[in-house]
């Protein structure tokens, strides 16, 4: 006889949703086991013996066709299955996929880049849990010019809202006249970690995109496009073996070289440093409010000057 497993894991293994969302379904009385509504998270079931129904539909892990998708999420797309405000979601982008899938982890509305979509709850748990130490690589464009002091502040880590935020690494990969591209590597996946870290350090983000998870990258995938992989291909690319164990020293190698201090120095004047408070007005929460009001002639002139200097709201 099969080994009993927790109900929320069983639901996730059936591809209904993630384990965390399955817990919500249980506590909100949307799950029945053998005809009886269950609300206890500690409930265990046996596959092939117990009848499990979610929202009135019977779920069975043996009947599920596993599907694995990588998607290049554009900005202004919700990384959820649905949105109460009617905004387009990552599921809407996976045209032609009839099997129910859901995103592994999230990118916020204004971020873009690599996302994994699947109905494999076991794989989702492996990718999301910090103990598996799957490295995520992000490219982030900030306003202004980075200094060694600012880079070291980020590398040392900061405290925010009870969390200690510290990347595995951060480096400059491109220096523009008025903006700087940084590469961040993380493996903990705290909520909005990069945005929070940058804000504490006084930096204003212009663009944020995830370019890799493990050794799985966006290479050959246009914005809004997706590709279907096998479980074996996905695990290998992420850096996990068939048992879901991390393979050492198997991570994404960026083709972009580090911009050294000497090359960055030539942009220091007259461009402001990246923590200059004049950039705060370009943060999403500020300009999304500002643009609703008709700007004055002086504000229009200032906005035009900012765009000419490379500080456009892109």
Q: Cα angle vertex 31, ends 29, 34, to 5°?
A: 125
Residue 289, pLDDT score: 43
Q: According to the model, what pLDDT value does residue 183 have?
A: 98
Residue 20 to residue 14: CA distance in whole angstroms: 14
Name residues of the chain where pLDDT drops below 70.
1, 63, 129-130, 248-249, 267-270, 285-314
The domain locations on the chain are 5-61
The verdict on whether 92 is a catalytic residue reads no
Q: Supply the pLDDT for residue 285.
A: 64
The predicted pLDDT at position 64 comes to 72
Q: Which residues contact 49 (CB under 8 A, 6 or more apart)?
A: 1, 2
Q: For residues 110 and 173, is the Cβ–Cβ distance under 8 A?
A: no
Q: What is d(CA 235, CA 233) in angstroms, rounded to the nearest whole number? A: 6
Per-residue pLDDT at 90:
95
Question: pLDDT tens-digit profile of 271-295?
Answer: 789 999 989 888 876 544 433 444 4
**Count of positions (residues) in the chain:** 314
pLDDT at 308: 45
Catalytic residue among 13, 24, 92, 108: 108
Residue pLDDT, tens place only, 144-172: 999 899 999 999 999 998 999 999 999 99
pLDDT given for residue 17 in this prediction: 79
CATH of range 5-61; options 3.10.290.10, 3.40.50.300, 3.40.50.720, 3.40.50.740: 3.10.290.10
Predicted pLDDT of residue 32: 94
* pLDDT at res. 170: 97
CB distance 274 to 203 below 8 Å: yes
How far are the Cα atoms of 180, 182, 198 from residue 274, in angstroms, in the given order? 8, 12, 10
């Amino acid at each position: 006889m099969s080994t009993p497993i927790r109900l929320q894991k069983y639901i996730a293994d059936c591809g209904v949703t993630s384990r965390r969302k399955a817990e919500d379904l249980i506590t909100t009385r949307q799950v029945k086991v053998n005809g009886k509504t269950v609300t206890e998270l500690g409930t265990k079931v046996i596959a092939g013996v117990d009848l499990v129904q979610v929202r009135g539909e019977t779920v069975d892990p043996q009947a599920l066709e596993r599907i694995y998708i990588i998607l290049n999420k554009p900005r202004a797309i919700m990384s959820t299955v649905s949105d109460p405000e009617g905004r387009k979601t990552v599921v809407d982008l996976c045209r032609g996929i009839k099997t129910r899938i859901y995103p592994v982890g999230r990118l916020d509305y204004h971020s873009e880049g690599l996302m994994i979509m699947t109905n494999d709850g076991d794989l989702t748990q492996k990718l999301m849990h910090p103990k598996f130490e799957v490295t995520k690589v992000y490219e982030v464009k900030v306003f202004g010019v980075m200094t060694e002091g600012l880079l070291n502040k980020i590398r040392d880590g900061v405290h925010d809202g009870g969390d200690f935020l510290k990347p595995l690494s951060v480096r400059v990969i491109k220096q523009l006249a008025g903006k700087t591209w940084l590469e961040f590597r993380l493996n903990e996946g705290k909520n909005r970690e990069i945005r929070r870290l940058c804000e504490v350090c006084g930096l204003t983000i212009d663009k944020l995109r995830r370019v890799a998870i493990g050794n799985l990258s966006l290479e050959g995938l246009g914005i809004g496009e997706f590709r279907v992989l096998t479980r074996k291909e996905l695990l290998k690319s992420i850096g996990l073996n068939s048992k879901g164990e991390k393979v050492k020293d198997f991570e994404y190698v960026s083709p972009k070289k580090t911009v050294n201090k000497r090359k960055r120095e030539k942009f220091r004047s007259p461009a402001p440093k990246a923590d200059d408070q004049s950039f705060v007005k370009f943060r999403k929460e500020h300009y999304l409010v500002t643009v609703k009001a008709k700007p004055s002639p002086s504000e229009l002139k200032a906005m035009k000057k900012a765009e000419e200097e490379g500080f456009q709201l892109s």
